[in-house]
Amino acid sequence: MNILKLSNLFVLGLLYSYGSSAGHLYCGKNRDVPTTSPSASIPTTSPSASIPPTSPPASIPPTSPAPIPSTSPAPIPPTSPAPIPPSSPAPLPQPTNNCGDFYTEFSSNEDLGNFNVEYCPQNVRVNNGLEMMVSQSCGITISYKKKFTRGKIETFMKMAPNSGVVSAFILTGNEPSDEIDIEWVGKDVFTFQSMYFVKGQRIVYDPGFHPSPNQSTANLSENFHKYGIEVTDTFVKWYIDDILVRTLEKTSDATFPSETNTIKFGVWDGSSVGIWAGYVDWSVPVLPAYMKWIRITNYC
DSSP 8-state symbol, 220: T
Question: 183 catalytic, yes or no?
Answer: yes
**From 105, 154, 183, 230, active-site residue:** 183
d(CA 189, CA 158): 10
DSSP string, 66-117: PPPPP-PPPPPPP-PPPPPPPSSPPPPPPP-SSS--EEEE-SSGGGGTTEEE
**From 105, 118, 154, 179, active-site residue:** 179
143 touches 153 (CB < 8 A)? no
Residue 213's alpha-carbon distances to 153, 222, 229, 239, in angstroms, are 20, 15, 17, 11
| Residues paired with 297 in a beta bridge | 152
Please give the biggest Cα pair distance in the chain. 192
Residue 226's alpha-carbon distances to 96, 159, 213, 263, 292, in angstroms, are 21, 11, 11, 16, 10
User: Catalytic positions, please?
Assistant: 179, 183
